Chains A and B, each alone.
Chain A
């Protein structure tokens, strides 16, 4: 059982380039989330989805987009990367109730130059 997988593990990207971070879960969880983690700022929610076909904006959505075509996949796209998007990105999933914990992927370390 893999849980949540993320790809790539790390990436160095030139500013202005388009990039898609991939996230797949095999737990059939309804809810999925994207966070970015920056030193001193903790985890900040970028986008979320409570079921296939629906998405919502989190705390820091600007410059990012997501889609949820099916239950398992939740890709995060940076349309035109900027250096301030240098961060570690975590995908997470949850069955979708407030008493359920989240399950996190291993993260993608992204550097935008």
Chain B
């Protein structure tokens, strides 16, 4: 069984501030982990993914995430927020040969000028 918890349905930051979006997972076997971004009125698109290579994964638009097995976490960070980062962010996990991922409920990132 696999599950994902995203802490905080909304995160608000000022432009230029650090972005931290939290994701914790549960999986009985080694997981594959994904972060997706959804801009208003669009579908989801992949930001980055962890597939058991480097634990620090770099994605598009300056985002990165670190896989921490001991903490069962895959938090998403960006050093300096831009207004254009305002969007909905989803964490997802798949494991055990399943091609059906489990998604978190999403975190809405709000960026203030």
Contacts and interface: CB of A to CB of B under 8 A. Distances in A.
Interface in A8-46: 31, 33, 40-43, 45
A48 B90 CA distance: 19
A45 to B, nearest CB: 7
A71 interface: no
Contact of A42 (B42, B45, B96, B103): B103
A98 B90 contact: no
State which size class the interface on A falls in: 20 to 34
A106 B43 contact: yes
Interface string A42-60: 1101001010000000100
A40 B104 CA distance: 11
B95 interface: yes
State which size class the interface on B falls in: 20 to 34
A85 B42 CA distance: 19
B43 A107 contact: yes
Given A43-B90, A90-B43, A107-B43, A98 B96 contact: yes
A48 B102 CA distance: 13
B73 to A, nearest CB: 19
Contacts of B97: 97-98
Contacts of B41: 107
B37 to A, nearest CB: 11
Which one of B43, B101, B105 has the highest number of Cβ atoms from chain A below 10 Å of its Cβ?
B43
A61 interface: no
A78 B101 CA distance: 24
B90 A42 contact: yes
Given A40-B9, A40-B105, A98-B32, A50 B99 contact: yes
